[in-house]
Chain A
């Protein structure tokens, strides 16, 4: 077994990955048998670790208390919470919820508004093109906002002809970022990127053009990084002041950029914004 694969599997099982990396692992699990096997092995080890702890039983009354609390949950509470979980679990849940998302759209086609506050940035090897998606209806809460973001990302991925910006079709890579400023969450799609050089990883960067501030938004998976749709989130510590965000992708040494600043070659978008 490849040590890097084992390492990634252990970190995944121990919940030690960032949201973007966790999402990329979960996406890979669908087709990467080696990784899936390593994850199962790590899960077994985790289960045995927990089983090796001194065994304590909760008080007998606890089960009844939990059921009482469940009784107080309304059906809408269950649904709302499920959507909340989707937001917290990132792209993994987004993928898992895709069927539900599509069902939501199919059931309520007239009520799914054009997504408000979403920024779309088309990317090719030299340029980025911004499109602001018109808003006509506010999502009622964060969960609804996330569902809308995820559903639109999935729609664009499956139906690139619906993209608001025509992407380059030449020999270079292309992609797009879809970002919700309200929640600091988004999706990055890439197509036809070359396989990174040995030791390199593709990093996604967000630019606040009002302040010039550049923030790291995530690291694309090491394998299969020439094509994919990935969830990312940006730390909300510093408010984004720009009405015009931009994104670009660079090839950096390893999974962690030095000082969280881009230093490598730009492979998608325009760093000189």
Chain B
């Protein structure tokens, strides 16, 4: 099952973007088929709401369509480029609403808030996310894990993360590196 984006040919996706830039609707549909689920999953992680996540995914794909010509494979993989578009779309949306992305709170805070809210569906989603992420992040030291969570799933800058975790910016940068690259090593291990 080719759900992991890296399992799909980067060159193929770059070619799709090149064709999308020329107005090729079939290429766009192909890219949508590959990216819609992982990007939607990420939007839900950021926004915590199905309806808004769909709207934001729609906005992101329209931006992909319109901006495909600006993609440069020397600077990023297609999937990273698409993730950046989606994250910026979600974060801009939440900032307009003056709401922090869900992961501006640390995971334990998130669980507590969701449980207290009485929103059963949201609570279940959050719990599901937390459990799965906990598994994915297993093996990473707590501080790098927190820094990575905030860097990836929130709109917080390095300075904001530093203030949140009460650490110097340099420490936060180091933690983010250890979190992301430690995650890579963890995920490279075969799953039982």
The finding on whether chains A and B are genuine partners in a shared complex, rather than unrelated, reads yes
The minimal Cβ–Cβ distance linking B17 to chain A, given in whole angstroms, is 12
Give the number of chain A interface residues (Cβ < 8 Å): 54
Which of B57, B70, B187 is A96 in contact with, Cβ under 8 Å?
A: B70
The minimal Cβ–Cβ distance linking B74 to chain A, given in whole angstroms, is 6
Which of A58, A73, A93, A97 is B57 in contact with, Cβ under 8 Å?
A: A58
Q: Is A26 an interface residue (CB 8 A)?
A: yes
- Measured in the bound complex, the distance between the Cα atoms of B158 and A49 in whole Å is 19
Output the nearest chain A residue to B128 by Cβ-Cβ distance: A54
Residue of A11, A56, A256 most packed against chain B (CB within 10 A): A56
Which of A45, A86, A92 is B183 in contact with, Cβ under 8 Å?
A: A45
Please encode chain A, from 14 to 35, with 1 for each CB lying within 8 Å of some chain B CB and 0 for all others.
1110000000001001100000
> B177 near A10 (CB under 8 angstroms)?
yes
> B181 near A55 (CB under 8 angstroms)?
no
> A66 near B61 (CB under 8 angstroms)?
yes
By a CB distance below 8 angstroms, the chain A residues around B5 are: 47, 50-51
The minimal Cβ–Cβ distance linking B29 to chain A, given in whole angstroms, is 7
Query: Which of chain B's residues 68-83 have a Cβ closer than 8 Å to chain A?
Result: 69-72, 74-77, 79-80, 83
> B62 near A70 (CB under 8 angstroms)?
yes
Residue of B32, B36, B75, B84 most packed against chain A (CB within 10 A): B75
Give the number of chain B interface residues (Cβ < 8 Å): 64
Q: Is A41 an interface residue (CB 8 A)?
A: yes
Which of A42, A62, A73 is B181 in contact with, Cβ under 8 Å?
A: A42
Known: A3-B174, A58-B40. A53 touches B70 (CB 8 A): no
- Measured in the bound complex, the distance between the Cα atoms of B76 and A46 in whole Å is 12
Known: A43-B76, A53-B132, A62-B58. A6 touches B87 (CB 8 A): no
> A86 near B70 (CB under 8 angstroms)?
yes
Q: Is B14 an interface residue (CB 8 A)?
A: no
By a CB distance below 8 angstroms, the chain B residues around A42 are: 180-181
Query: Which of chain A's residues 46-97 have a Cβ closer than 8 Å to chain B?
Result: 46-59, 62-63, 65-67, 69-70, 73, 77-78, 81-82, 85-86, 89, 92-93, 95-97
Extra contacts besides A7-B177, A53-B129, A69-B58 (15): CB < 8 Å: A10-B180, A11-B158, A13-B76, A15-B87, A29-B75, A43-B79, A48-B183, A48-B184, A55-B37, A85-B63, A86-B70, A93-B70, A95-B72, A96-B70, A96-B75
Interchain Cβ contacts under 8 Å between A and B, 12 examples? A3-B177, A7-B174, A29-B74, A30-B74, A44-B184, A48-B6, A52-B133, A54-B128, A77-B66, A81-B63, A81-B66, A96-B70
Across chains A and B, which 5 residue pairs bring their CB atoms closest together, nearest first? A45-B184, A81-B66, A52-B136, A85-B67, A96-B72
